[in-house]
Structure 1
Amino acid sequence: MRSGPVNGAKYFFFAENQDRSRSWSGGFTTHLPDRAFDWCWTTGSSDSRLLGMRKIIAPVTSIDHTINLT
């Protein structure tokens, strides 16, 4: 969830369940760590693996935008 006005911002995400049997991924690949993170695209770490992220473009008029993973 993103609180406040999002102004049409782009967000990228990857998610998976604990045993990695289900994931939400996409075509924007980058190295991502196993721990939770919040960083810019070019940030890296020594404990990363190559994964694909999905892109979300939040509507300009959106306030408190939420994405439900199903």
Structure 2
Amino acid sequence: MIFGAGHWLVAGMMMGVMPMMHAGIKSGTVDAPGVFTINNGGIMAFMGGMLGHMIYGIVVTLTYGAFLT
């Protein structure tokens, strides 16, 4: 889960700088998601992103552990 939390922190922070790179956001056809996608769903997007990345961390850890044994 720590791996998932780290991944969530990095991915969430990168969503804040997405307007600098995304052509649709620059042109105004797509709304900027904001840090941790808070502009696209509020606290539900924040918590959903965290939960999804925690599950991702668990799956990666279990998969990696299965190949080690």
Decide which structure has greater helix share: 2
State TM-score, norm by structure 2. Answer: 0.26
Q: Who wins on radius of gyration, i.e. which is larger?
A: 2
Decide which structure has greater strand share: 1
State TM-score, norm by structure 1. Answer: 0.26
Higher relative contact order (CA closer than 8 Å, sequence separation 6+): 1
